[in-house]
Chain A
Amino acid sequence: MEAALDILSWAALVLGGIFYLIGAVGLNRMPDLFTRMHAVSVSDTLGVGLLILGMGLQAGASLITVKLVIIVLVLWTTGAVASHALARAALHDGEKPVLIDNAGNLVETDCVEIFPELAVRLAAPLTSEVVEEAPSEVPLGSEESLEEPGEPDREANRDARPPAENGGET
């Protein structure tokens, strides 16, 4: 039993280390930001997961394993969120992915040329930020509504829209 657990945890730790290295090598060898993010996600999910599994098998059923599970769950969820935010920020900043053209060459391509609807999507963060801000605006509006009930809220919404529409047109 002890030996079996040792073998399993050896395998998990070595495999985890290998996946971790694969991610790090990809981070250096991939041609552009988005493929690099793809490579890093290998080490952030499979590598971390297997390393933690290997440690958990050594620790057995104890508080240490609970802490390990907390670490791996938080890493998995926040890794996805951080990657999403990073890709969105990069696209918004005009980062151009390197794609293969018809001749088979690697070319920096503006995604908006290929997917015209992406221009709308890239403008979308502005509107979604207005939506995210909305709850914090409601208290502001309700404070004002002590003086003029109803009106300020509508005014706030009207003011919130123009930046979003400008973003959609450009």
Chain B
Amino acid sequence: MMFAVAILAVLAALALAVVRALAGPTAFDRLLAVNSIGTSAIMLLALFGFLTDRPEFLDIGITYVLLNMIGTLAVLKFFRYGALGHAQDPERDEALR
């Protein structure tokens, strides 16, 4: 019962974050909302595991925690450089070569 209440709160927060992700004027607003959605998903996984007495969900939650962080940093780098695998300063790399 107590977990159901917490799940409802997290679900409502998730819905609000989705609203911001759809409405956000800048890409950074969307990214912030997506990060928040990821955190909500982790909390949902953990709470659902407790609600149904299946703590294996926590392992999936740990995976999501790590992916969430990597995803945010990767998208930020993509915004900045337009690519994920490229060098930061092509001219300098040319000079080094």
Contact = CB atoms under 8 A, between A and B. Distances in A.
B28 A85 contact: no
A167 B5 CA distance: 51
A148 to B, nearest CB: 14
Interface in A82-96: 82, 85-86, 89-90, 92-93, 95
Interface residues of B, number: 49
A152 to B, nearest CB: 9
24 contacts: A13-B5, A14-B6, A16-B9, A17-B6, A17-B10, A20-B10, A20-B13, A21-B16, A23-B36, A24-B17, A27-B36, A33-B26, A43-B13, A43-B36, A43-B39, A51-B6, A59-B55, A67-B61, A81-B73, A82-B72, A86-B76, A93-B28, A95-B26, A137-B96
Contacts, number: 146
Interface residues of A, number: 56
Nearest to A161: B92
Main secondary structure on chain B at its contact with chain A?
helix
Main secondary structure on chain A at its contact with chain B?
helix
Given A17-B9, A36-B29, A55-B3, 6 more contacts: A20-B10, A28-B19, A40-B36, A51-B47, A68-B58, A74-B69
